[in-house]
Structure 1
Amino acid sequence: MAAGLAAVEAPAAQAAATSTITVDYGADRGPATQIASGFLHGISATSPAQYLVDGVKVRSLRGADHHPNLPSLYDTATYQRVSATGANLRVGLYYYTANPSSPYRSYRPGDNGNFSTWTTIVNGVMSEAEQKGYRVNAWIPWNEPEAQWGSRYTTTYFQAHKVAYDAVKARNSSYRVEAPELSAYNFTKLQQFLIYCRDNRCLPDVLSWHELNPTTTDVPGHTAQIRSWMQANGITPMPIAITEYQGSSYGNPDAWAAGPNVRWLAQFERSVPNGLEDALTSDWDYIGDDSNFIATLGNSADKATGTLPKGVWWNYNTYKTMTGRMVNVTSSSATTVDALGSLDTGQRRGVLLIGNQTAGDQDVSLRLNNASALALSNVVHVRAERISNASTLSAPTVVFDADVTLASGGATVPLGTLPGNAVYKVLVTPATTSAPVTRYEAESLPMTASPGLAGRVFTEAGASGGAAAALDGTARGQYLQFTLPVSTSGVYDLRAVLKRLTNRAFHALYIDGVMVGPPQDGYGNVGYYGTDYGTVSLAAGNHTVRAVAVGKNPSSTGYVMVFDRFDLVRVG
């Protein structure tokens, strides 16, 4: 909810320890496509919870064909669930070595000079995909070959790559081959691979490697270096994919540190001009042969159940809302505090992630430039929430929520101290003090509930209309559904007033089947409170609004949801 109007003056001199993040909404950095919202082994048929998948943009997913423990894209239920996200699917041709039922399990391409068996394996994997009607974006001959093949990298592996490449292209010339999937950026080994492929007519359609490190590597420098070298050596640069990033080892929390993750995202966005196509976060929660494997969207959900978000999941949830165009964001100390941001004039919102790369507290000041496109009457609303680097996080903490007056299209907002490895999520939207509001008492809307349960209306003095609508839920997945009429098409800030209870559900809101805004945790001391689901475009007519109990705060005793009212605030 909008707080009081705050007039913000020109920036004062900052203390030495303060990192200044400057967002220039007038500097377009290209379309917002969530380039780094990809996941390794991130989704299986049953995990993680669906709202965790719905709450992020699954742009790309790399998985197995057949594997006894890892999610197999050749399991129909897994494929259908992953495919429904619209992700670019990447399949490794080499997973036969992990399949105990494969007759080729002990075979390695080139054994005793035999490559014909490798051709049979490659064709078998593609045949099954075609028979099942699967859509595969890229085929990967081998994973981390310089590590797995050792001194044979430049000999036997290169031959194995060509055999696989020729088999894929003979099958269908439009199929894409992705290689070499090095375990780390290595300029020399990439040069060796590309020279061989250039001279033997087996250049990959996608050039790939991994960027695995506890701290962010120079991804823009790497992608620029290899692209420039290709241009100078008779090779037309192909798209680049970083198919594993962040983290140093299994079980090490540096793989899901929220603050450093922001710099990874920012580095990938800065690499787009160099040809970056996709980046996929690593999966360090589980070793590949772990029979207890649970898909966690690349370390984003809790390992125990796959039903609760880690702190880093909220980064990707925010990243999903970076629609429209990316804008120029700079930091006075990027290796300490880095950031990335977007502007969507159609949705009337600017979205920003600011991440602390260090273990210590950092003061942060935010400078907005050329923000008039987001203003009503020269005023914007700024809401900043702190995402902690937690193993499970049911909700970020609001640290700033106020209208801000622009001076010459800009303003400075002091955000205060950002704890170690934590993140600020910042939303900049039009100020709504004078915006028209359409209010719906929840109990007056047509209402249904999960089969076997009934939504009920009860009277209570605390409710604005004297009554509220509730679901006395008993389990995750149950829902309360309303029909919301919209008289005029437009962009609205969707808000609700709910009742906080000690037995309250952790819920996600869906409009016409699409999750909007972040999930909401209403656990706490009894009382009514307001929540904001963000801006959404709604056409005139009736819309189905479904609140789904997706879980509960670990301290909650149940799955109750109580809605007092919905507000549609017209912002565009």
Structure 2
Amino acid sequence: MRRKARSIAAACLAVCAGMAAQAAALPAYAAGATLVVNVAAPFRPVTHAASGGLYGLAEGNRPPDSMLLPVHPRNFTQPAPGVQQRPNGQPPGGDSLLVAPQADRTGAGVVIRMPDIYPDFPYRWVSWNDWLAKVDTQVSARLAATSVSNIEGYELWNEPDYTWNTSAAGAFNAGWVRTFQRVRARDPITPIVGPSTSYYNATYLRSFLTYARDNNALPDVVCWHELGQNPSSIAADIAAYRAMEQSLGISPRPIAINEYAGTAAVDVPGTVAGFVAKLERGGVDSADRAFWYEYGTMNGLVVNGGQPTGTWWLYKWYGDMSGNMVTTTPPSQTGLDGFASYDPTRKIVNVVFGGESGANTVRLTGLGALGSTVRVRLESTPSSGRFTQVAAPTTLSDTTYAVSGGQVSVAVPSMAAGSAYHLVVQPTSGVPSYQQRYEAENASVFRAARLGATSASSGAYVGRIDNTGDFRTDSYVDFAVNVPAARAYTMRIGYANGSGATATQGLAYNGGAWSTVSYPATGAWGQFGSTVSTSVNLRAGFNVIRLAKGSPYFAGGTGYAELDYIELT
């Protein structure tokens, strides 16, 4: 659970599901482990799936955009419109509709947590008339906010296995269906998220899914929490859910883990590296850092109003990733683990790892495309806690390695289990000074689809960019780009348009005025090589560029175009 008010005994019972309580101190794992990174084995595009936060935003632009843009937040789960919830005794805050514009500026979506209309936790049930009236009020508020396009779903309840009052409200499964139907009667479009249990409970989830399936009330996104002090159960939980889903004849749902990492883990970069690694390998659609402490800090990533903690640097390294996530194989489900990406355009490999002490090794395979020698930079960030600023990571080494048989083994001496580490592997020459090409599939994608094609740059693209004219179906792609200087840039767009006629999309950046991009017809859908160019005036540092078929303040594009990449020169 994300609030300290819950007792340690109850938290262990719900989160650990009967396992022995774990001490806050980091476990002492045996040294000498090896993490294997197969650069030639991509498994999905980089989407920064686990970079979000529960209650990550507070009104007043806290934390500032400058601290959010580098970590590429995937989404935020925020309290209900008109929030009354007082987590950890704080005043109500983080109203989903009020903070949505800041999330939008950073390319992030927002999920509305509906029961946070109640002030107490566990939620204090009043009556069905009271609850349904509150549901109606929230949905009406969302429908009235026609300029907010980044709402990704309604979370109907939170941790029903702990907070649902069965004696007063009846069985949760029936209550879910009743609430689901109430929302759908007023809003048949916005996705519904649930059941958001406090941990992965197969028996509970099977009962819920069966009842929801039989009553035409399945969630669009399946959600539960992973709040242990280490992430060792995540891989098994995700695999068990996928098997259950199939056994029940339910089509595959996106998975959201909208609270992850317990109190002794969430501010420990070495442990967080294992959480992110397992969430990425499990293929979750989104995952949010748990909320345990203060609003406005992105759950401990930011201190003193806008300075990075040690854990922020881990998420910044995550945010630097582009191209495709590539396979990492840890020695076990505990201890050393990490996640990695390879961008074939820039020819850069990023590996983030931790969770082990002593002398360990990262073995990289599949490096043939990087040449016979590579430059390997190794840096670290400490487990400094949420109140200590860490101005920069520490560079540990910067070395040239010979590549033998497509492999390099990097020894990492004197690791601290609480610290996280970052390897950057590049060819010794020919690397651009900044990331010029930005893949559409790595961008923030709203109501469109990431698809694969052999002719696409990095093997993937974004298609099905469409809208119906209803603001809830606005369809667009947000590219967060980082440029070295304020100036005009030529932006080349790789695309496909198999419609036989010219298509158009809207172009805006940093919330500015809209212009129109035209895409002449190409040979076929999903066959890339064609480009169009336009000019954009960008500020130094981060900018967000939007290409849209539909978006707030843009009347809508015409025809259809699929996006491969943008390139700035």
TM-score by length of 1: 0.66
In structure 2, relative to structure 1, the CA distance for the partners of 1:131 and 1:193 (3 Å cut) is: same
- Residue 527 of structure 2 is matched in structure 1 by none
Which of 289, 293, 299 is 1:285 aligned to?
A: 293
- 5+ unaligned residues in a row in structure 2: which ranges? 1-29, 85-90, 435-483, 493-508, 512-532, 544-568
* Counterparts of residues 67-86 of structure 1 (less than 5 Å): 67=83, 69-74=91-96, 76=98, 78-86=99-107
- Residue 518 of structure 2 is matched in structure 1 by none
Q: Does 1:17 align with 2:31?
A: yes
1:335 deviates by 1.6
SS at match of 2:71: coil
- Matching residue's letter, 2:274: R
1:329 deviates by 1.4
- Residue 347 of structure 1 is matched in structure 2 by 346
- Residue 58 of structure 1 is matched in structure 2 by 73
- Matching residue's letter, 1:381: R
SS at match of 1:237: coil
Q: Distance in 2 between matches of 1:52 and 1:21?
A: 30
- Matching residue's letter, 2:37: V
- Residue 425 of structure 2 is matched in structure 1 by 428
Which of 360, 365, 375 is 1:364 aligned to?
A: 360
Are the counterparts in 2 of residues 145 and 153 from structure 1 also a CA contact under 8 Å?
no
Q: Deviations over 1:320-370 (max 9, x none)?
A: 12211111112335522111101001122110011125xxx3212222212
In structure 2, relative to structure 1, the CA distance for the partners of 1:26 and 1:52 (3 Å cut) is: same
In structure 2, relative to structure 1, the CA distance for the partners of 1:334 and 1:190 (3 Å cut) is: closer
- Residue 128 of structure 1 is matched in structure 2 by 141
- Matching residue's letter, 2:268: A
Are the counterparts in 2 of residues 353 and 423 from structure 1 also a CA contact under 8 Å?
yes
- Matching residue's letter, 2:293: D
Q: Distance in 1 between matches of 2:130 and 2:104?
A: 30
Q: Deviations over 1:451-497 (max 9, x none)?
A: xxxxxxxxxxxxxxxxxxxxxxxxxxxxxx955799999xxxxxxxx
- Matching residue's letter, 1:164: T
- Residue 266 of structure 2 is matched in structure 1 by 255
SS at match of 1:18: coil
Q: Distance in 2 between matches of 1:308 and 1:244?
A: 23
- Residue 545 of structure 1 is matched in structure 2 by 540
- Residue 305 of structure 2 is matched in structure 1 by 306
Q: Distance in 1 between matches of 2:64 and 2:432?
A: 37
1:269 deviates by 1.0
Which of 170, 173, 178 is 2:193 aligned to?
A: 178
- Residue 35 of structure 1 is matched in structure 2 by 49
Q: Distance in 2 between matches of 1:335 and 1:161?
A: 36
- Matching residue's letter, 1:281: R
1:57 deviates by 1.2
Identity %: 26
Are the counterparts in 2 of residues 369 and 411 from structure 1 also a CA contact under 8 Å?
yes
Q: Distance in 2 between matches of 1:141 and 1:483?
A: 44
Q: Distance in 2 between matches of 1:374 and 1:486?
A: 28
Q: Which runs of 4+ in 1 moved over 4 A?
A: 150-154, 434-438, 481-489, 538-544
SS at match of 1:72: coil
Q: Deviations over 1:249-301 (max 9, x none)?
A: xxx443211101000001101211xxx22111101124xxxxxxx32112212
Which of 191, 195, 212 is 1:197 aligned to?
A: 212
1:313 deviates by 1.0
- Matching residue's letter, 1:268: L
1:85 deviates by 2.0
Q: Does 1:296 align with 2:303?
A: no
SS at match of 1:394: coil
Q: Distance in 2 between matches of 1:365 and 1:156?
A: 51
User: Which protein has the bigger strand share?
Assistant: 1
SS at match of 1:256: coil
Q: Distance in 2 between matches of 1:60 and 1:236?
A: 23
Q: Distance in 2 between matches of 1:119 and 1:266?
A: 39
- Matching residue's letter, 1:389: S
* Counterparts of residues 339-488 of structure 1 (less than 5 Å): 339-357=338-356, 361-375=357-371, 378-391=372-385, 392=388, 393-432=390-429
Q: Distance in 1 between matches of 2:96 and 2:536?
A: 41
Q: Distance in 1 between matches of 2:172 and 2:416?
A: 46
Q: Distance in 1 between matches of 2:104 and 2:487?
A: 30
TM-score by length of 2: 0.67
Q: Distance in 2 between matches of 1:436 and 1:62?
A: 36
- Matching residue's letter, 1:279: A
Q: Distance in 1 between matches of 2:253 and 2:377?
A: 40
- Matching residue's letter, 1:40: L
- Matching residue's letter, 2:41: A
SS at match of 1:55: helix
In structure 2, relative to structure 1, the CA distance for the partners of 1:177 and 1:423 (3 Å cut) is: same
In structure 2, relative to structure 1, the CA distance for the partners of 1:389 and 1:118 (3 Å cut) is: same
In structure 2, relative to structure 1, the CA distance for the partners of 1:238 and 1:161 (3 Å cut) is: same
RMSD of the TM alignment (CA)? Answer: 3.3
Which of 132, 153, 169 is 1:138 aligned to?
A: 153
1:308 deviates by 1.7
- Matching residue's letter, 2:95: L
In structure 2, relative to structure 1, the CA distance for the partners of 1:371 and 1:83 (3 Å cut) is: same
In structure 2, relative to structure 1, the CA distance for the partners of 1:232 and 1:331 (3 Å cut) is: closer
Q: Does 1:265 align with 2:276?
A: yes
Q: Distance in 2 between matches of 1:487 and 1:435?
A: 20
1:18 deviates by 1.5
In structure 2, relative to structure 1, the CA distance for the partners of 1:295 and 1:363 (3 Å cut) is: same
Aligned residues: 416
Which of 178, 187, 191 is 1:163 aligned to?
A: 178
In structure 2, relative to structure 1, the CA distance for the partners of 1:49 and 1:107 (3 Å cut) is: same
Moved more, 423-432 or 148-157: 148-157
In structure 2, relative to structure 1, the CA distance for the partners of 1:80 and 1:430 (3 Å cut) is: same
